[in-house]
Structure 1
Amino acid sequence: MSKPEKIVFIGLETYSLMGGLQQFNRRFIKALANRAAKNNGTRPQIVLRRDQTSDMPTDVDADFRPCGTSVLRMFHEAMVAARGADILVAGHVNLLSVLTACSVIAPRAPRILVVHGDEVWGDPVYRARKPFDAPMMRRLDRVVSVSQFTANRMAKTFGLSPEMFSIFRNAVDEIPSPDQTQPKQPNILCVTRLAEHDHGKNVDKLLRAFAVLKTQNLEATLTIVGDGVLRHGLEKLSLELGISEHVRFTGRVSDKSLAAAYSSASVFCLPSEKEGFGIVYLEAWLRGLPVICGDRDAAQEIVSGGVDGYIVDPSNIEEFASQLGKLLAQTETAREMGARGRSKVEAQYLMPHFENQLKSILDSVKA
């Protein structure tokens, strides 16, 4: 009789913050716990840096090892957890050294690295290459990427074989279908971080495209949800463009307020060039909204141009504004695009699909 499967997941802060990486990690850990319960496996060992014991969930059947800010404690907890491990998983490239150390304790366990986006693009603005990145990466058994775009850029940057990669799409939780029978006011919604390194979200270009629409006397408002050091400059730009009375910066909001913002919107727009996946587009589709994304990152793999949204060159402000104007003016077309987006989410991007992807990848590395 084979021994119960033991999986170790090593991650950065997961329950103390909220963001795309944290949402993915929470879903991944829950899927590991579900897999263990289904297969009578050992509870997954979850080692988390910068999380505290008080942050840990009570509704996930896993053995949590929060390590706070101590690097030494993280190495210690990870290596203790790795004893007898069947699979080792690191949830971020910055944890490669911890994963490598664990492989000494569990030399036969396949090593998996999960990557998300700009952290492995080799761009010094987001994360510069480090001397030992490539050698440690070449010892991995699998790199799990949330998009083909990120897999291609990482393979080129670090000289890795494309065969090392598996694509693992993100997911969202299903919510009730929105009521599309009530007409909405033309309101564009953008949900994004506005941190120091988020110039590539191109919110400034969205403001400029919106300003073009206002010169055409198109009645609409723009709501920007999110906060960070870029906010002040963007607010100043909206004043300079003469659109500030039609633009609302909300800052960070509660889940309830975010749901209300989606409910009142008629179009979702994030013309980013730095999305490793773009989970916000899925969240918008769940609410029946058509979306606009940029043409320079992984969002192109998710959005079907002309079907459930538009893909734009964010630097071409006139064309960007034209596509945005179409969605605002052609309300029935916009509604149909949003409905097709929701159907896509239901078919490809919910928790059952996430768990099936995980099963396929873990089973293949053990084979």
Structure 2
Amino acid sequence: MSIVLPKSLRFTCFHLWFPNLFDFKGGIQVYLQDLLLALEDKFPRLPLVIFDKLDKTKSRDKFESKELSFLFSGSLPSFLRSPHFALSIAIGSLIERPNLILCGHLNFAPIAFLIHRLTGVPYWIFVYGIDAWSVQDHWKQKALHSAEKIISISGYTSSRLIREQKLAPERISLLPVTFDASRFQIKPKPQHLLSRYGLTAEPIILTVARLDSMERYKGYDQILQALPEIRRQIPTIHYLIVGKGSDRPRIEQLIVQLNLQECVTLTGFVTDDELCDHYNMCDVFAMPSKAEGFGIVYLEALACGRPTLGGNQDGAIDALCHGELGALVNPDDVEEIAQTLIQILQGIYPNPLIYQPEALRKKVIDTFGFERFKQTLAELMQTSSVGSKL
């Protein structure tokens, strides 16, 4: 149900400061798109002004509400984007005096802090993962301590902020990642993909990740290192890695070094339309990461009813509900990764839920579906400084 704003608030607005939404599709961008869709749905008459640093123009038809205004800095030369964006959000805030500023990234928080000191306009900061871990910048620290709310996508990031920045637990609220469950269904293994990759009835391990040299923390190296042991007990095992990026040549070299050419396939880029089929092709989804803010891919795999493995040192803890929805392993322990994957594939892992596809799907939707996301956001708004006006 939408929340209708009283007339007293209909001529005010919220400002949303986002790094980007459209040209690049990463976890933060998807999360911020979901945030914007949820705000539109729950507060349809609330004007929202979106300051977008990197995009040149809007490229998603869903954001057509007359209550949305977009201001882009991405069409400028790269060296001018940051100053233009900073000047735009500062001047916009000083002139319009929004009811609330939503900082879509911690990098923007120092400006929000200064605006707050000058005008009293409250602000929230959204934090994800590595962006908010081990923060040393003085102004970011001051901004964190002065924010009305810090919205974290995971309990893991919240606990790190509490410990590292000495923040009171009540200062941080959770708004976990959501996903479009309608795009991910339980289906039989797709024969067209098995044929494409030259597979038949082999048990399949799947990882979906950007193969970037800066994102080796995803854990695909560890799975490759674990494969020789897995092959000793499950000789027909096959490992699929979906994704593209600058790290692919090094991965290919590692596959050769480990003599895994016959049991590993690098699929390259896969379109959104084929992603669900790739999840349904696997017998276990595995990404033993150690620096993931949350990991939407875990939710997608779970919605397809697939047993799922993640690391026990990052946001995967939240995505897998502390092990309730899947297996959590030490991402640096290749032997533990190997033995856990063997157990899952042999059907003897001591968590019966992972072998119940429909129950797994229902649980992940109930916990992380978009309806739950919208309701949590509405509850957060009600407890904010503008809550009494909503």
TM-score normalized with structure 1 length? 0.89
Distance in 1 between residues matched to 2:323 and 2:380, nearest whole Å: 32
Structure 2 residue 376 is the aligned partner of structure 1 residue 363: no
Note the 1:11-160 alignment, pairs <5 A.
Answer: 11-37=18-44, 40-41=45-46, 43-55=47-59, 57=61, 59-61=63-65, 62-68=68-74, 69=78, 70-82=81-93, 83-103=96-116, 107-122=119-134, 129-160=136-167
- Report the secondary structure of 1:55's partner residue: coil
Distance in 2 between residues matched to 1:221 and 1:46, nearest whole Å: 45
Distance in 2 between residues matched to 1:33 and 1:305, nearest whole Å: 32
Q: Which moved more, 1:255-264 or 1:345-354?
A: 255-264
Pair 1:272–1:247, CA change in 2 (3 A)? same
**Deviation of 1:80 (Å):** 4.5
Per-residue deviation, residues 82-136 of structure 1 (Å, max 9, x unmatched): 313111110111111332344367x3432100000011111xxxxx622322122
Q: C-alpha root-mean-square deviation of aligned residues, in Å?
A: 2.5
Q: Which moved more, 1:50-59 or 1:87-96?
A: 50-59
Distance in 1 between residues matched to 2:331 and 2:356, nearest whole Å: 20
**Deviation of 1:307 (Å):** 4.8
Residue 268 of structure 1 corresponds to 285
Residue 225 of structure 1 corresponds to 242
Pick aligned residue for 1:341 from 354, 360, 363: 360
Residue 125 of structure 1 corresponds to none
**Deviation of 1:148 (Å):** 1.3
Structure 2 residue 170 is the aligned partner of structure 1 residue 177: no
Is the 2:186–2:357 contact (alpha carbons within 8 Å) kept by the matching residues of 1?
no
Distance in 1 between residues matched to 2:9 and 2:234, nearest whole Å: 69
Distance in 1 between residues matched to 2:364 and 2:170, nearest whole Å: 27
**Deviation of 1:53 (Å):** 1.6
Note the 1:184-203 alignment, pairs <5 A.
Answer: 185-203=202-220
**Deviation of 1:146 (Å):** 0.6
Pair 1:26–1:184, CA change in 2 (3 A)? farther
**Deviation of 1:145 (Å):** 0.4
**Deviation of 1:253 (Å):** 2.1
Distance in 2 between residues matched to 1:57 and 1:292, nearest whole Å: 35
Per-residue deviation, residues 16-57 of structure 1 (Å, max 9, x unmatched): 1011111001001111222331xx32x211111001125354
Distance in 2 between residues matched to 1:141 and 1:77, nearest whole Å: 22
Q: Which residue identity does 1:151 align to in structure 2?
A: S
Pick aligned residue for 1:301 from 302, 318, 333: 318
Per-residue deviation, residues 271-309 of structure 1 (Å, max 9, x unmatched): 011111121110101111110011111212232577532
- Report the secondary structure of 1:365's partner residue: coil
Per-residue deviation, residues 136-157 of structure 1 (Å, max 9, x unmatched): 2222111000111101112322
Is the 1:308–1:340 contact (alpha carbons within 8 Å) kept by the matching residues of 2?
no
Is the 1:307–1:340 contact (alpha carbons within 8 Å) kept by the matching residues of 2?
no
Distance in 1 between residues matched to 2:249 and 2:211, nearest whole Å: 10
Is the 2:305–2:361 contact (alpha carbons within 8 Å) kept by the matching residues of 1?
yes
Is the 1:328–1:334 contact (alpha carbons within 8 Å) kept by the matching residues of 2?
no
Q: Which residue identity does 1:364 align to in structure 2?
A: T
- Report the secondary structure of 1:311's partner residue: strand
TM-score normalized with structure 2 length? 0.84
Distance in 2 between residues matched to 1:203 and 1:65, nearest whole Å: 39
Structure 2 residue 299 is the aligned partner of structure 1 residue 282: yes
Distance in 2 between residues matched to 1:71 and 1:302, nearest whole Å: 33
Q: Which moved more, 1:261-270 or 1:79-88?
A: 79-88
Distance in 2 between residues matched to 1:307 and 1:116, nearest whole Å: 22
Query: % of aligned pairs identical?
Result: 24
Is the 1:33–1:60 contact (alpha carbons within 8 Å) kept by the matching residues of 2?
no
Structure 2 residue 259 is the aligned partner of structure 1 residue 242: yes
Per-residue deviation, residues 189-210 of structure 1 (Å, max 9, x unmatched): 1011222322222211111112
Distance in 2 between residues matched to 1:138 and 1:101, nearest whole Å: 13
Distance in 2 between residues matched to 1:226 and 1:57, nearest whole Å: 26
Distance in 2 between residues matched to 1:81 and 1:228, nearest whole Å: 37
Pair 1:159–1:214, CA change in 2 (3 A)? same
Question: How many corresponding residue pairs?
Answer: 358
Q: Which moved more, 1:45-54 or 1:303-312?
A: 303-312
